[in-house]
Structure 1
Amino acid sequence: MNVSETFVADPEVVASEVDGGAALLDLRSSQYYGLNPVGAFVWDQIQTPKTLDALASAVADAFDVGVSDCRADIARLLEDFASAGVVQRHA
């Protein structure tokens, strides 16, 4: 993952709030995904393109954790999103 790469939610994926988290539905595959509150926050953030560093900073601010503490977790989440095909990556 390079520092200038951005991530944005795929427009063919819809989300709904569920118990503080979110449920995603990929309209192409009819596949559902469940997100905890942090994952739901990241999903909300990537409705517009964001870099990993911007997302880690936003999560750190919102959840009162250190940026370095959450950066690797956010990177894994973004990789999971990419593998599932629910985000678009732009270099």
Structure 2
Amino acid sequence: MTPPDALTLDTRVGWHPEQITAAIDGEVIVMGLIRGQYVGLDDIGSVLWKLLEQPQTIRQLCDHLSQRYRGAPAAIQVDVLAFLEELKALDLIQAVDA
């Protein structure tokens, strides 16, 4: 059973307002002000992070990445959902209303 606050492809997500983003030596670093933790994002993570500046559904994010990287849509969806759940657990992103 899916937890009630779990992300789905139809969840609209965006940056959490209490985070700071910086580009250092070509790498995107995101620090959450709530937990004081930070993450460094690789190339694909950085692309995804930039897309999250404008809230959108996870399905839209996956579609964009599928077109850009020509990956298998099902595999991209699994990877993106897992990645976004990690960011959500660190309070770096949040579900937003449409």
TMscore range, shorter length = 0.7 to 0.9
1:14 lines up with 2:8 in the alignment: no
The answer to whether the 8 A contact 2:19-2:33 is kept is: yes
Number of aligned residues: 91
Q: Distance in 2 between matches of 1:44 and 1:65?
A: 19
2:62 is the alignment partner of 1:44: no
What is the distance in 2 between the residues matched to 1:3 and 1:39? 17
Counterpart CA distance in 2 for 1:66 and 1:41 is 18
Asked if structure 2 preserves the Cα contact closer than 8 Å seen for 1:8 and 1:48, the reply is yes
**What TM-score do you get using the length of structure 2 for normalisation?**
0.78
Unaligned 5+ residue runs, structure 1?
Answer: none
- Out of 50, 54, 58, the position equivalent to 2:60 is 54
- More strand per residue: 1 or 2? 1
Q: CA–CA distance in 2 between the matches of 1:16 and 1:63?
A: 24
Higher Rg of the two aligned structures: 2
Where in structure 2 are the equivalents of 1:22-37 lying within 5 Å? 22-37=28-43
- Give percent identity, aligned residues only: 20
Gaps of 5+ in 2: 1-6
Runs of 4+ in 1 over 4 A off after TM superposition: none
